[in-house]
Amino acid sequence: MPATGPDTEVRDLPGVGPRRARALEDAGIHRAGDLLLRLPFRYEDRSARRRVSEMSDGEAASVEVAVESLEVRPTRRRGLRIVELRGYDGSEPVRATWFNQVHLKHILRPGRRVLLFGPVKRAFAGGAPMLNNPRYELVEPGQLEPGLTAPRGDGAAPQEPGGSPHVGRIVPIYERIGTLDPRALRGILHHLIGSESAAGAGYLPAALASRLQLPSRKRALEEVHFPPPGASLETFERRRSSGHQRLILEEFFLFALGLELRRRQDRTARAGGSTFAVDDGLRSLVRRVLPFRLTPSQREALATMAREFQSPLTMRRLLQGDVGSGKTIVAVIAALIVMHHGAQAALMAPTEVLAEQHFTTIRGLLEPHGIRVALLTAGLGAADRRDTLTAVASGWTQFVVGTHSLIQEGAKFRNLGFAVVDEQHKFGVAQRSSLLERGGGCDLLVMTATPIPRSLTMALHGDLDLSELRELPPGRQPIRTLVRPSAELPGVYQSVRNEVRQGRQAFHVCPTIDESEESPGSGVEARFRQLADGPFRGLKVDFVHGRMPSVRRERTMAAFVRGELEVLVATTVIEVGVDVPNATMMVVENAERFGLAQLHQLRGRVGRGAHPATAVLVVGGRPTEMARRRLRVLEETSDGFRIAEEDLAIRGPGDFFGTRQSGIPPFRVADIVRDADFLRLARKEAASFLASSAIGTAEGRRILTHVRAIWGERFRLAAAG
Ligand code: ADP
Ligand code: MG
């Protein structure tokens, strides 16, 4: 049989028969390399072996015992039986008991030696010391001398032949895989680790590993599976041993290489293309267009983009900023740079309401300066639509705003230089890549109002360069956030009426529940009737929900935006982007049912004007502890970045965006939250690796081939080059 390597199939490994092989395969573990990356989630220090006579009450240690007898006894509780072992550890008699584990009869036979691990209970009335439900390992003959003291510090290397993986050392505890319990896995992995070539050389450049003083892949795997004597369990369990660090960095390094290759592919796509420089004419135009002073981070984002426009490389930029941070104006000024040089700009929004709103804002800013702006949505009549398409195709229209039908229905541009995608988190992961691709060679800015923790930004959008708007424009009124039980709703209604009396507007959001299949939206509609005929009688109230005909929904939204409605009862369809500066009150019913990011977005619909605003989160029933934590976070902060971090902490990364669609790449050893620092380091190293001559070496080529094999599909990497 050929030597075991990382690609050896699990069924060919020693200790793995057909049944075990099937269990491993079912768990997605096909090759030795996969199995080696199933790291222990915990370790147990069984090296500190003691005699019972030296142990005090409650102390836990490994005790080696010669079995004298094993007895199964019924108890007074029906069906419950006790297995009791009596034995001798060289110092005194020892007892151990287990509940119901009758099969131990066949394992812990008299005359055998067993290592028991657990806390000892010293008997009060003279009986032998007792271990309750201890973990046990059989001591195979010849492995341990009776009464041998702890091998701590004796330098026994884990791979030393004859050393048992199960006792007398720090042992790894694995998650069970099908029929393979921790002990079986330990045996198989011990074998595998002992083999010379199973680990393979790995894919971290040797020069990098040695500069960072990280062990070889082989040593790293030995260490994380079988920590050396005296190792700190805490360090290992936090996955901060040097072996863990090596494996984490290696995994991130390969991912970062994939990202970096993707970026290079994008950037060279238009190398040699047009460049848009900033001159005095443009500067003076920008000054005339700008209705206010830009915030420092708006200015910084624009300066970066201006530099990028001047370079022949394609821009692929993510503008991340909290709700209300002023992303639109950044996109508009950037578009000015491009239009100043005769190219066209396009802005794409996820909903028609939002597209129309952007159109109105942008036309208001640009038309006075002779720039021609058009709106292109599905709502347009056929004739208007044809005219608009012609104007865009001829180059007459300089700035076109639309929904993503803009791209789907293939509007032809004369000379598209710059595409902006607003609220990109509303477009799914798949849509996002296709948008990027259809953006073709032109410069692209993607804007998102859902700030996500930096570690995730990198994993999700690492192929984009990042600009952040970290502050809100000056003069904003902070939003007061109140959490109230539903019993206090009458008072909440009164506050809504007060706002309306002062000329303000309010949103009243309820979750889409209790609705029947036949009449979607009936829940909101029923609630709307109750409110309109009851507490909001006499006010101008209407409602919208996601499943009503879009024409009707858009009309109602538009009426609210124009101030013709005073209260809008809605589902979360109003979550995205709409700017109604006169709205000062946001009531969310059953707030405990919403996610943190969603509540933050909803709250961001108010407080966008000069008047102070209030968000009231109404809690129905008894919220779970998690829901209470979410609401507390919202009361405490309105910083979207902090809220994102808290959201992640409360939900964990798996659940952060709803696992499947999250787009978070599947890592095996690394964790993008815990290991965020490693991801940063990996990106830096990947960039300098690709820029160095190392990629031309045999090692470099081997690494890049591997990157294409594992990440090529996700990043749509070209086959080579
Ligand atoms: P978002 O980032 O949520 O898309 P918008 O671009 O809609 O935010 O901006 C929110 C509001 O803030 C708009 O009314 C906009 O005119 C205003 N605004 C943006 N930047 C500034 C600024 N620097 N100073 C004052 N107001 C600003
Ligand atoms: Mg916006």
pLDDT tens figures, 348-369: 988 787 888 899 899 999 999 9
Rounded to an integer, the average pLDDT of 50-76 is 85
- 323 CA to middle of ligand 1, Å? 9
- Identity of the amino acid at 247: L
Tens-place pLDDT, residues 433-449: 555 555 556 888 989 87
Q: Which of 389, 614, 366 has its CA nearest to residue 492?
A: 614
Q: Which strands form 465-469's sheet, in the order they lie side by side? A: 373-376, 399-403, 344-349, 416-421, 443-448, 316-321, 465-469
Tens-place pLDDT, residues 386-431: 899 999 999 999 999 998 777 666 678 888 889 898 877 666 555 5
- Evaluate whether 420 touches 703 at the Cβ level (below 8 Å): no
In the three-class reduction of DSSP (H, G, I as helix; E, B as strand; rest coil), residue 403 is classed as strand
Quote the pLDDT of residue 47: 77
DSSP 436-465: HHHTTTSEEEEEESS---HHHHHHHHTTSE
- 469 CA to middle of ligand 1, Å? 11
β partners of residue 319: 447, 467
Quote the pLDDT of residue 495: 96
Q: Is 325's C-beta closer than 6 angstroms to any atom of ligand 1?
A: yes
- Full-model pTM: 0.69
Percent with pLDDT over 70 in the chain: 87
DSSP 52-115: GGGPPTT-EEEEEEEEEEEEEEE-SSTT-EEEEEEEE-SSSEEEEEEES-TTHHHHS-TT-EEE
657 backbone dihedrals φ, ψ, rounded to 5°? -110, 15
Q: Could you tell me what percentage of the chain is helix, strand and coil, using 3-state DSSP and rounding each to the nearest 5?
A: 40, 20, 40
In this predicted structure, the answer to whether residue 153 has a pLDDT above a threshold of 60 is no
Highest mean pLDDT among 104-108, 147-151, 281-285 belongs to 281-285
Q: Is 640's C-beta closer than 6 angstroms to any atom of ligand 1?
A: no
The two tokens of residue 361 are 């804002």
- 327 CA to middle of ligand 2, Å? 6
The residues, ordered by sequence, that sit 6+ positions from 386 with a Cβ below 8 Å of its Cβ are none
Q: Is 623's C-beta closer than 6 angstroms to any atom of ligand 1?
A: no
Lowest mean pLDDT among 210-219, 318-327, 641-650: 641-650
- Evaluate whether 67 touches 108 at the Cβ level (below 8 Å): yes
Q: Is 584's C-beta closer than 6 angstroms to any atom of ligand 1?
A: no
Ligand positioned closest to the Cα atom of 321: 1
Quote the pLDDT of residue 436: 57
Q: Is 609's C-beta closer than 6 angstroms to any atom of ligand 1?
A: no
Quote the pLDDT of residue 14: 87
Rounded to an integer, the average pLDDT of 28-53 is 88
Quote the pLDDT of residue 662: 55
Pocket test for ligand 1, best of 294, 297, 325, 360 (most atoms within 8 A of CB): 325
Q: Is 324's C-beta closer than 6 angstroms to any atom of ligand 1?
A: yes
Pocket test for ligand 1, best of 319, 329, 356, 582 (most atoms within 8 A of CB): 329
The residues, ordered by sequence, that sit 6+ positions from 563 with a Cβ below 8 Å of its Cβ are 505, 582
Rounded to an integer, the average pLDDT of 91-109 is 88
Residue in the structure block whose two tokens are 């271990």 = 131
- 423 CA to middle of ligand 2, Å? 7
- 265 CA to middle of ligand 1, Å? 34
Quote the pLDDT of residue 534: 93
Residue with the nearest Cα to atom 5 of ligand 1?
326
* Residue 707 banded pLDDT, cuts 50, 70, 90: very high
Mean pLDDT (the chain) is: 84
Tens-place pLDDT, residues 381-392: 888 888 999 999
Pocket test for ligand 1, best of 328, 358, 641 (most atoms within 8 A of CB): 328
Q: Which of 118, 117, 96 has its CA nearest to residue 108?
A: 96
Q: Is 328's C-beta closer than 6 angstroms to any atom of ligand 1?
A: yes
Q: Is 297's C-beta closer than 6 angstroms to any atom of ligand 1?
A: no
Q: Which atom from ligand 1 is nearest to the alpha carbon of 298?
A: 23
Quote the pLDDT of residue 652: 67
* Residue 273 banded pLDDT, cuts 50, 70, 90: low
Ligand positioned closest to the Cα atom of 472: 1
- 328 CA to middle of ligand 1, Å? 7
Quote the pLDDT of residue 642: 83
Instruction: Give me the residues near ligand 2 (ion), CB cutoff below 5 Å.
Output: 577
- 378 CA to middle of ligand 1, Å? 27
* Residue 380 banded pLDDT, cuts 50, 70, 90: confident
* Residue 155 banded pLDDT, cuts 50, 70, 90: very low
Lowest mean pLDDT among 146-160, 179-193, 600-614: 146-160
Residue with the nearest Cα to atom 22 of ligand 1?
473
Ligand positioned closest to the Cα atom of 604: 1
Q: Is 327's C-beta closer than 6 angstroms to any atom of ligand 1?
A: yes
For residues 212 and 153, give the distance between their C-alpha atoms in angstroms, rounded to a whole number.
Answer: 27
- 326 CA to middle of ligand 1, Å? 3
Q: Which atom from ligand 1 is nearest to the alpha carbon of 293?
A: 23
The residues, ordered by sequence, that sit 6+ positions from 66 with a Cβ below 8 Å of its Cβ are 87, 88, 89, 111, 112, 113, 146
What per-residue string of b and e applies to 120-156 under the rule 16 or more CB within 10 Å gives b? beeeeeeebbbbeebbbbbbeeebbeeeeebbeeeeb
| More confident: 141 or 666 | 666
Q: Is 326's C-beta closer than 6 angstroms to any atom of ligand 1?
A: yes
Ligand positioned closest to the Cα atom of 422: 2
Beta-strand runs (E) in 457-582? 465-469, 479-485, 505-509, 541-544, 567-570
- Evaluate whether 378 touches 358 at the Cβ level (below 8 Å): no
CB atoms within 10 A of CB 686: 23
β partners of residue 480: 614
Quote the pLDDT of residue 117: 83
| More confident: 672 or 721 | 672
Rounded to an integer, the average pLDDT of 277-291 is 93
For residues 412 and 417, give the distance between their C-alpha atoms in angstroms, rounded to a whole number.
Answer: 13
* Residue 678 banded pLDDT, cuts 50, 70, 90: very high
Quote the pLDDT of residue 412: 83
Pocket test for ligand 1, best of 287, 292, 446, 641 (most atoms within 8 A of CB): 292
Q: Is 420's C-beta closer than 6 angstroms to any atom of ligand 1?
A: no
Residue 208 Cα distances to 215, 252, 534, 688, angstroms = 11, 13, 70, 11
Lowest mean pLDDT among 61-65, 161-165, 531-535, 684-688: 161-165
- Evaluate whether 333 touches 283 at the Cβ level (below 8 Å): no
* Residue 150 banded pLDDT, cuts 50, 70, 90: very low
- Orientation angle between helical segments 676-691 and 454-461, nearest 10 degrees: 40
